[in-house]
Structure 1
Amino acid sequence: MDKMIKLMVFLVVAGVTLAQEYGEDELEIEHLLRQYTRTPVDDSIDVFTMKVLKAAYESREDKNVVSSPLGLMMLLSLYERAAGPAAKEELARFLGEADAKQSSEWYKDLSVTLSELEPQQLAVAHKIAVSDKYVLDEQFAAAARAYRSELDSVDFSKPMEAAALINQWAAEKTKGLIKEPVSADSLTPDIAAALFNVIYFNGHWNVPFKAEDTKEKNFYVSRGVAVKKPMMHLRHSLYFRKSKELRARVIELPYKEKGFRMVVVLPDHVDGLPSVLKKAAQKGLLSDVSRLSPTGRDVEFDMPKFEVRTKLDFKNILSKIGVSQIFEEPAPGLVKNTPVKVSKVFQEAFIKVDEKGATASAFTGMFLVPPMAPPPREPLKLMVDHPFLYAILYRDTVVFAGTYSG
């Protein structure tokens, strides 16, 4: 290996917890009236996320997967500023704009916007750790600061101390959900720099799942094979769409936190998740999400509570979806006077969905109808009782995505 090309490590740490509380009338009205401005980069994040999720799902025996490709894309957009010409061209295509500079500016603005949200709800943070033997290029350091990145000098020749420093930062930013994403064994003295990202989300349902309504019910892991899972229950009017293209039903669960929502994509058939993933990797989810509409009647909705932790090696995944130059072409503009190339890209992500916080509240609604209104329609029944896809969005930006297969 050329001694002038030092190793660079990417780390994306993602943590997400989801709790439920009773919503308020004002929040319900605000949700119904929400207007989001969907951008071309939102579409790129959407498709990239689904491609990554499909590749991760196919590469793992455990089909319960959670990931935050958004965190990876923000790091890649920052790395693009220092990359060589072939990597720049490749990254621009995947990040969403033909003009790499325009794309990087958009991700910088997104990074700033997300970092300014209430940190108890959403925390987005970046850290650039440069070896104490090197100095960051001035232009790259300025770009990193514009992304609101923390810059630190680290002695990678002391792997125990370096790992402890990184892990302390990750644990702090994820509120203890992800404590040791980096091992001392993974750090070597020839690392020149490391880029880290953390995304932490703690959301509360706008409409409640009551803990006392959760019951053990069948979840079909495949045709004719069922296991018992604790299924949460909700009866409420929700946004819904039956997608002929995805061959799935799409339903939206809004969060109390402004702009956030979970979208659940339930395949029409028990074994339909691979097909849904294939189609989503081609077109994304936003085209269906944008066409969600109120059901006009209550929905009897059942969904499993679950907890998933996923560790992903992104090097193989990225190569499968067409991002390879970052591992082959040295970046001349990241470390001063020293070209570096990516050696490893990995992520640890966590999600927990349960009824926490839903024990002492109530939601009250009053509906007015014309005197000759027809009788209420029977509620729509939707049982999420087989493998499904889910995504958490901030406005029209996909922040987390995953699959649950029981």
Structure 2
Amino acid sequence: MIHHPNYGRFLGALLPLVMGVTVLGGGIPRTHWTPRGAIAQSPTAVRDLSEAQGELGFAVFHQVRERRGGENVILSPLSLSMALALLYGGAGGETQREMSQMLGVSGATTGELDRTYEGLLETMGELSGEVELAIANSIWTRQESPLRVEFIQSRQQFYRAQIQPVDFREPPHVLAAIHEWISQETQGRITELLSSRDVDERTVAVLLNALYFSGEWTSPFPEENTELAQFNRLGRSPVYVPMMKQRLSLVRAYENDLFQGIELPYGESERLGMYVFVPRDDVPFAEFLGQFTAENWRSWVRRFEWNEAGAIVRLPRFQVTTEVNVRESLEALGLGGMFQPGADFSGLSDDPFWVTVMRQQLYLEVTEAGTDAAAVTGIGGTRSAPISWVGDRPFVFVVRDNETEQILFLGSVVDPSL
């Protein structure tokens, strides 16, 4: 990307997230679903994988939004897809077929998918300086009946997974160890994921993915510019929240009849950025969400271009802490095979088992100093005059690695005062 000399450096964000998969007993009817736009050939590059990952992420995001109505929503498509890929190495038969559709890599071998994620981990590990991204995987397996050697070795090789033998007959000790790992890998921003209801003597394995992001804004919001301002909530009275403000001399933006969009980049390299979309005044938020699809996202992001007239940006300071029951969303999408006793994970263990828990915990805070998680608002652009961009109504955001096109976080904010 272009680096503008007037862009300052800005203490940014800690963006932690944990994705967990617990495998044990339980029964759910099997259904089927094929994601729209699924890649039907072997993934030969990381960017091929990002398209499939985006399809799944957007589908789950909309399922969560439908259930939560007026709540803020955040999800990590990257963490979700990597946790599923970690588990995919043990799937076989119909379960493998369903999971390959879910991951959007129908026709790819397990080895091809694993090597693609290996490459993704390598390229994302190259981030340094004012932007840090740390991804960690772990597998917690019972001591008395370990998982298949081939499965363990491949997860260690391609996903750098830590293997932790534990005694699931002592849930308090296991949960304490798991949560200590989670806290360590997310810099203390997330401390819990599972409860005593999720782990017992029947548990075969717990697979975890933790994602931590820390990024300095390329251009900061001066603290002295922040003041209380009105935010117009959906179907409720307005609320006053701290509204940050800055003027940017150069921005990447795109707008149409539906929304104004702007990118707020991180660091000097500007490799990562937060894309914020604010619907037009006359466009209902529900109408905008109906158009906020993976297909449209790919089309819109390609149309962002430099606007030398700059922009005046106002964005609320806010925090979001949430838990996402991914299992509910996948079942609603018709992906229930892995959640029933008949699931085929013969490549993982000789013991029959199926997934009973699939959940995400997320923490997000946006301040003048940066993103303490993943969120930001707004944008729009014109070539002739500075954009006036005000995040005073519900908006959505996407945190994206512009090099690999991976979506780290995807969310919406309907009330920054929550």
Task: Please give the range of the TM-score, normalised by the shorter of the 2 chains.
Answer: 0.7 to 0.9
Letter in 2 for 1:91: M
Which residue does 1:165 correspond to in 2? 177
Q: Identify if the C-alpha distance between structure 1 residues 71 and 319 changes in structure 2 by more than 3 Å, giving closer, same or farther.
A: same
Between 209-218 and 135-144, the greater mean CA deviation after superposition: 135-144
| Contact kept? 2:139, 2:208, Cα under 8 Å | yes
Between 324-333 and 75-84, the greater mean CA deviation after superposition: 324-333
| Contact kept? 1:209, 1:233, Cα under 8 Å | yes
Partner Cα distance (1:191, 1:222) in 2: 42
Q: Identify if the C-alpha distance between structure 1 residues 116 and 132 changes in structure 2 by more than 3 Å, giving closer, same or farther.
A: farther
The size of the alignment, in residue pairs, is: 357
Which residue does 1:105 correspond to in 2? 115
- The answer to whether residue 413 in structure 2 is matched with residue 401 in structure 1 is no
C-alpha root-mean-square deviation of aligned residues, in Å? 2.5
Q: Deviation of residue 62 (structure 1)? A: 4.9
Which residue does 2:238 correspond to in 1? 226
Q: Deviation of residue 279 (structure 1)? A: 2.4
- Which of 325, 328, 342 is the aligned partner of 1:313? 325
Q: Identify if the C-alpha distance between structure 1 residues 79 and 100 changes in structure 2 by more than 3 Å, giving closer, same or farther.
A: farther
- The answer to whether residue 51 in structure 2 is matched with residue 39 in structure 1 is no
Which residue does 1:25 correspond to in 2? 5
Q: Identify if the C-alpha distance between structure 1 residues 333 and 325 changes in structure 2 by more than 3 Å, giving closer, same or farther.
A: same
Partner Cα distance (1:80, 1:93) in 2: 11
Letter in 2 for 1:326: M
Normalised TM-score (structure 2): 0.79
- The answer to whether residue 258 in structure 2 is matched with residue 250 in structure 1 is no
Between 250-259 and 211-220, the greater mean CA deviation after superposition: 250-259
Q: Deviation of residue 117 (structure 1)? A: 4.1
- The answer to whether residue 95 in structure 2 is matched with residue 87 in structure 1 is yes
Letter in 2 for 1:143: S
Letter in 2 for 1:40: D
Letter in 1 for 2:199: L
Q: Deviation of residue 377 (structure 1)? A: 4.4
Q: Tell me the secondary structure at the aligned position of residue 293 of structure 2.
A: helix
Which residue does 1:364 correspond to in 2? none
- Which of 132, 149, 152 is the aligned partner of 1:121? 132
Q: Tell me the secondary structure at the aligned position of residue 238 of structure 2.
A: strand
Partner Cα distance (1:38, 1:266) in 2: 29
- The answer to whether residue 68 in structure 2 is matched with residue 60 in structure 1 is yes
Measured against aligned partners, the alpha-carbon deviations of 1:108-155 in whole angstroms (never above 9, x if no partner) come to 322343355449711100000001121111221122112111011011
Larger radius of gyration: 1
Which residue does 2:298 correspond to in 1? 286
Q: Tell me the secondary structure at the aligned position of residue 333 of structure 1.
A: coil
Between 41-50 and 327-336, the greater mean CA deviation after superposition: 327-336
Q: Deviation of residue 319 (structure 1)? A: 1.3
Which residue does 1:31 correspond to in 2? none
Q: Identify if the C-alpha distance between structure 1 residues 284 and 171 changes in structure 2 by more than 3 Å, giving closer, same or farther.
A: farther
Q: Deviation of residue 257 (structure 1)? A: 6.2
**Aligned counterparts, 1:196-345, within 5 A:** 196-222=208-234, 225-236=237-248, 237-244=250-257, 247-256=258-267, 258=269, 259-269=271-281, 272-281=284-293, 283-328=295-340, 329-345=342-358
| Contact kept? 1:223, 1:271, Cα under 8 Å | no
Q: Tell me the secondary structure at the aligned position of residue 176 of structure 2.
A: helix
Which residue does 2:368 correspond to in 1? 355
Between 160-169 and 76-85, the greater mean CA deviation after superposition: 76-85
Q: Deviation of residue 223 (structure 1)? A: 6.0
| Contact kept? 1:163, 1:183, Cα under 8 Å | yes
Q: Identify if the C-alpha distance between structure 1 residues 88 and 269 changes in structure 2 by more than 3 Å, giving closer, same or farther.
A: farther
Q: Identify if the C-alpha distance between structure 1 residues 111 and 86 changes in structure 2 by more than 3 Å, giving closer, same or farther.
A: farther
Between 61-70 and 122-131, the greater mean CA deviation after superposition: 61-70
Which residue does 1:388 correspond to in 2? 395
Normalised TM-score (structure 1): 0.81
| Contact kept? 1:112, 1:147, Cα under 8 Å | no
Partner Cα distance (1:104, 1:281) in 2: 27
Q: Deviation of residue 271 (structure 1)? A: 6.4
Partner Cα distance (2:314, 2:370) in 1: 18
Q: Tell me the secondary structure at the aligned position of residue 330 of structure 1.
A: coil
Q: Deviation of residue 261 (structure 1)? A: 0.5
Q: Deviation of residue 26 (structure 1)? A: 9.4
Which residue does 1:13 correspond to in 2? none
Q: Identify if the C-alpha distance between structure 1 residues 274 and 104 changes in structure 2 by more than 3 Å, giving closer, same or farther.
A: farther
Q: Tell me the secondary structure at the aligned position of residue 240 of structure 1.
A: strand
| Contact kept? 2:89, 2:348, Cα under 8 Å | no
Q: Tell me the secondary structure at the aligned position of residue 181 of structure 1.
A: coil
Which residue does 1:372 correspond to in 2? none
| Contact kept? 1:134, 1:335, Cα under 8 Å | no
Gaps of 5+ in 2: 9-44, 372-382
